[in-house]
Copies of this chain bind each other. A is one copy, B any other.
Amino acid sequence: MEEKMMELFCAIAGRRSIRKYSGDDVCEEDLRRMLDAGRMAPSWVNFQVWEVVVVRDPKTKSALAATLPDTNPARGAVESAPVVLVACGRKGESGCKKGELATVLGDWLMFDVALFLNNVTLAAYALGYGTVHVGYFDQKRAAKLIGVPDQVQVVELLPIGRPLEPAKYVSPRRAIEDFVHREKY
* A66 on the B face (CB < 8 A): no
> How far in angstroms is the closest Cβ of chain B from A43?
9
Contact A103/B173 with A8-B123, A53-B181 known, Cβ cut-off 8 Å: no
Q: Which residues of B contact A50 (CB under 8 A)?
A: 179
Contacts A42-B133, A114-B115, A173-B39; A53 near B182 (Cβ below 8 A) = yes
Interface centre among A42, A54, A172 (most CB of B within 10 A): A42
How many copies of the polypeptide does the oligomer hold? 2
Binding site for B on A (CB under 8 A): 5-9, 11-13, 15, 17, 32-33, 35-37, 39-42, 44, 46, 48, 50-57, 60, 88, 95, 97, 102-105, 108, 110-115, 117-119, 121-123, 126, 133, 135-140, 146-149, 152-153, 155, 171-174, 176, 179-185
Question: Given A8-B8, A183-B54: A35 and B176 within 8 A (CB)?
Answer: yes
A-B pairs, top 6 by smallest CB distance, nearest first, are A114-B114, A118-B118, A111-B114, A8-B11, A110-B111, A148-B185
Of all chain B residues, the one with the shortest Cβ separation from A145 is B184
Q: Other than the known A9-B123, A88-B185, what 19 A-B pairs have Cβ atoms closer than 8 Å?
A: A6-B7, A7-B7, A9-B33, A15-B42, A39-B174, A42-B121, A48-B173, A51-B181, A52-B179, A53-B185, A103-B137, A103-B138, A105-B139, A110-B111, A111-B111, A114-B114, A114-B118, A146-B185, A152-B185
